[in-house]
Chains A and B, each alone.
Chain A
């Protein structure tokens, strides 16, 4: 060790004594850990949450219109446009399988992301159980990470068990063709043995676990299949029609009113967007309709007026 290296070592050890104290470290770690847990479970939060009405009935909104006249509805008048019509209500998507209720596991939380439904079963007894996620896809899953694979018979089908060797627990992904055009994946960790993972998959039963949306909708776009339902977003037909709650930002101008809220309606060749400044939620509700879908101003305002933000929502 030369002079510089010796000084460097002394400098590091000397500086280390200036490190922040650990007096409140434990309580801060517990607070942060609890926050992460709440975030994980955000979707599961009360389905009985209070409902806040974003808008009044459309007639009232339209009567109170203010601001400059709207630009022409270019997208709607296009010959290739496919007009959106509204129907009353919204049917929550469902996840079609469930594990049997077990002590040490919470009731499942279902989500829908980019057309892929997933159910998350959170373990509360981490000695005997592990978090388990079941996913349904229409095609065989593709994996990019390196893993060992072994063959298993699952629910009468030829399945594969991937073992990913990571610390502190090996990850298991069991996947199999459940039916023509339907693949199932069950992901968990080595709290379970491979035999127990297969037994979990064999224990899946048909179910209808509702995906709980962030908004109640008085109207929904007719004939459009929902593809994403999470804490901030409800979107349909690969995002062609979407409702997103975003963190508050300043609208550059406003030309509409949706109930008591200022709003901005804009159109261009690619999309029509209505942004509603939902000030009491510190958020902006964005309703976007992308070409070739098209929607009239009246229907867009009627749709927005019927969006009720729920407490379980979380703006992004």
Chain B
């Protein structure tokens, strides 16, 4: 796939998948749109070369990830305070689980960007730690420690709110 038409075809067929990825990364629909548009606009001119790569979409996702981690302009990504998750009502089991998932999404926005990125790559993209480490240019041990730290924070808050067992 190469040439100007291939770029349009790529955006038309993979655009929403990229937007979904950017959205779970950033947690903000406007920022997600901005991230994807920014990266695609910058890669547009070089698309012939990117299309020749083994996995063009992986390259674009990596660019979105880098852009998210270094984003400094326009809408600032605000890290929320973990403790601000509201107290749940006492629900039966299925309702509690739905509520827990919603609140987990809220908790994600309180994590530092790098920790959130690790969780998204591991639990949304289902990537193994060596691939995550390669994407983030860090060691596998860093990936493991970032994930462990983020999950520990989430477990603590969820347990305090009675949304999961103590582990």
Contacts and interface: CB of A to CB of B under 8 A. Distances in A.
Nearest to B52: A168
Contacts of A29: 11, 37, 40-41, 44
B11 A7 contact: no
Interface string B11-42: 11001100111111001011011001110111
Nearest to A8: B123
Q: How large is the interface on A (under 10, 10 to 19, 20 to 34, 35 or more residues)?
A: 35 or more
Interface stretch (B74-82, B87-95, B100-108, B127-135): B100-108
B12 A26 contact: yes
Nearest to A2: B167
A163 to B, nearest CB: 16
A172 B84 CA distance: 51
A21 interface: yes
Q: Do most interface residues of chain A lie in helix, strand or loop, or is the interface mixed?
A: helix
B154 interface: yes
A33 B100 CA distance: 41
Contacts of A5: 123, 151
B119 to A, nearest CB: 7
Nearest to A126: B48
B105 A11 contact: yes
Given A12-B120, A26-B11, A32 B24 contact: no
B42 A19 contact: no
Contact of A13 (B16, B124, B165): B124
B45 interface: yes
Contacts of A36: 41-42
Interface string A28-59: 11101101110000000000000000000000
Interface of B: 8, 11-12, 15-16, 19-24, 27, 29-30, 32-33, 36-38, 40-42, 44-46, 48-50, 53, 59, 97, 100-102, 104-105, 108, 119-120, 123-124, 151, 154-155, 158, 164-165, 167
In the complex, the 9 A-B pairs of residues with the closest C-beta atoms, listed nearest first: A19-B23, A32-B41, A22-B15, A16-B20, A33-B44, A12-B124, A168-B49, A33-B41, A19-B20
Interface of A: 2-5, 7-22, 25-26, 28-30, 32-33, 35-37, 126-127, 167-169
